[in-house]
Amino acid sequence: MATTQQLNFNFNEDQMRLKIRALEQTLEKIHLGGGQARIDKQHESGKLTARERIDALLDPNTERIEIGALAGHNMYAEHGGCPAGGVVVVIGYVSQRQCIVVANDATVKAGAWFPITGKKNLRAQEIAMENHLPIIYLVDSAGVYLPMQEDIFADKEHFGRIFRNNAKMSAMGITQIAAVMGSCVAGGAYLPIMSDESLIVDKTGTIFLAGSYLVKAAIGEDIDNETLGGATTQTEISGICDYKVADDQECLLKIRDLMSRIGQQDKVGFDRTESIAPAKNPQDAFGIIPSDRSKPYHTKDLLQTIVDANSLSEYKPDFGKTLITTYARIDGWSVGIIANNRTVVKNAKGEMQFGGVIYSDSADKAARFIMLCNQKKIPLVFLHDVTGFMVGSKSEHGGIIKDGAKMVNAMANSVVPKFSIVVGNSYGAGNYAMCGKAYDPRLIVAWPTAEIAVMSGAAAAKTLLQIEIAKLKAKGEVIDPKKEKALLDEIKAKYDTSISPYYAASKLWIDAIIDPIDTRKVISMGIEMAAHEGFLHPYKVGVIQT
């Protein structure tokens, strides 16, 4: 007969598989971009889709990470939606060189830029700049989406920032290759020209500041788009582009050739040994982490599904037990892991401490461990399942804010690359201390079990309910228990939507929702790209209260 523990494991596993399948189904729809009819139209015009271009460009049978596939999810319904933000971004390998590829999806509003499109493009450039990673642009875009131009055009993190980053990356020596494989119009025309080398596809690629209709309206000149800014014009007359190619396939082959000629970069020198499989099957993570986010579990068992077998070496295991700080290896890479311990523990005084809560001793330990990893050039991995810092008079009198600030200071000033994996809860200041998006993780991804918010749905709903009841009572309304429960259910349902990992992914608070099995790949490829940086700045933490 199965034990209660085995039954719970099986239930958790089933729930995780359902979540993963739901994720796969959502991504399958997103991968269709603007729909099959528009894909067919793209093919009829002799062009591959954005995803087909990336598939043909990347080295066969190599790993890849897609960034922001869920960007724009369930957004812009009044404008017909914007699947994947209208642009596909992938970290992968071209001619055995790790790089990041950015491809406009012309099946989504002709590749026009929505606000989330700009944010996603800037995230791709940020990854390239932080990691000195070559970037390839596959351009096929009608430019800014005019009905929303006020949200994409003129601010600091809007469309113009793209070209500022082009210039900065060029000065940093980061390789940029742009291929004009469709429309490239208005301000967008600067992107390929500000890249190191540019290609244009004959008969389908065009570059101009204004198309033929606007030229006619502005200066009265009659001219067709091909003569105005087609491949022949821009390679033989203006000299704007470096290479004219016959079609998409030839264009992608030429990019592969250009990438193959790039010299080797200096590397930071993060330690790596032979990769060893984890001691536990990575799929065991499905059953270990509870589907109910309030339930405890053994975090060390979860770590055994991620790290190389026999590589854990815990730092201060008997102190600050609600945080696990440990050296380990992931795919051979030496890493320092900071993970929220979700089991209930006792401190040295015999006092019970709640799992997932950061106490003063835990924060103090984590700060010191972060400093050690920076001293030793060891990348940091944060595994979030945190409900926040401990509250109450005892914690306040003991200096919880001071100790939390110490951890945040050490983490925020870290010069070794940081990677965040949100496996469960990531609430409040706990999100910050565990290297949330605001603290520049090189990559931040979430499991389908993740929740990202100021507080849990249940806690927030009760707080918001009291506010709502107070308002209604002030108006003289009588609130009976039945109405109170209906209000609570309504508030919680609305709040639960906003703490979902899909909501976070749609707004690019996280780079992706991943199958837990892919955690090792994300960390390994992330450290590999971070090693391109060449050197690390000196580690300084500033003023820390002791």
For 143, residues 6+ apart whose C-beta sits below 8 A from its C-beta are 112, 113, 183, 185, 186, 187, 188
DSSP 8-class letter at 144 = B
DSSP 8-class letter at 398 = T
* Cα atoms found within 13 Å of the Cα of residue 446, Cβ hemisphere only: 32
Q: Tell which residue, 88, 90, 86, has the closest CA to residue 65.
A: 90
Q: Report the C-alpha gap between 83 and 70 in whole angstroms.
A: 7
Return the number of other C-beta atoms located less than 10 Å from residue 72's C-beta.
27
Give residue 310's Cα distance to chain centre: 29
- Which residue is listed with tokens 């989406």? 145
Give residue 282's Cα distance to chain centre: 22
Q: Report the C-alpha gap between 421 and 329 in whole angstroms.
A: 16
Q: Report the C-alpha gap between 43 and 204 in whole angstroms.
A: 12
Question: 243-245 and 197-201 as β-strands: parallel, antiparallel, unpaired?
Answer: parallel
pTM: 0.94
What's residue 1's pLDDT? 47
Burial of 445 (0-12, 13-18, 19+ CB in 10 A): buried
Contact by Cβ (8 Å): 422, 289: no
Q: Tell which residue, 172, 46, 184, has the closest CA to residue 103.
A: 184
DSSP 8-class letter at 434 = T
Q: Report the C-alpha gap between 162 and 122 in whole angstroms.
A: 6
Provide the residue type at 223 as one letter.
I
- C-alpha triplet 409, 348, 294: angle, nearest 5°: 70
DSSP 8-class letter at 356 = T
Quote the tokens at residue 212: 């033929």
Q: Tell which residue, 56, 60, 40, 129, has the closest CA to residue 88.
A: 56
Provide the residue type at 330 as one letter.
I
DSSP H or E stretch at residue 409: helix 400-412
What's residue 467's pLDDT? 84
Provide the residue type at 315 as one letter.
Y
Q: Which residues of 96-121 are buried (b: 16+ CB within 10 A; e: fewer)?
A: ebbbbbbbbbbbbbbbbbbbbbbbbb
Give the bridge partners for 446, in sequence order: 422, 513
String of DSSP letters for 441-505: -SEEEE-TT-EEESS-HHHHHHHHHHHHHHHHHHTT----HHHHHHHHHHHHHHHHHHHSHHHHH
- The CA-atom distances, in angstroms, between 103 and each of 137, 152, 179, 354, 509 are 6, 18, 10, 46, 21
Q: Report the C-alpha gap between 261 and 233 in whole angstroms.
A: 27
Q: What is the mean pLDDT of each run of 10 residues along the chain (546 residues)?
A: 86 97 98 96 96 98 98 96 97 98 96 95 97 97 88 88 94 96 84 93 92 85 89 94 97 98 90 98 97 92 98 97 97 98 86 88 96 97 94 83 93 97 95 97 98 82 79 79 80 84 97 98 98 87 76
- Which residue is listed with tokens 């401190």? 347
Q: Report the C-alpha gap between 473 and 147 in whole angstroms.
A: 42
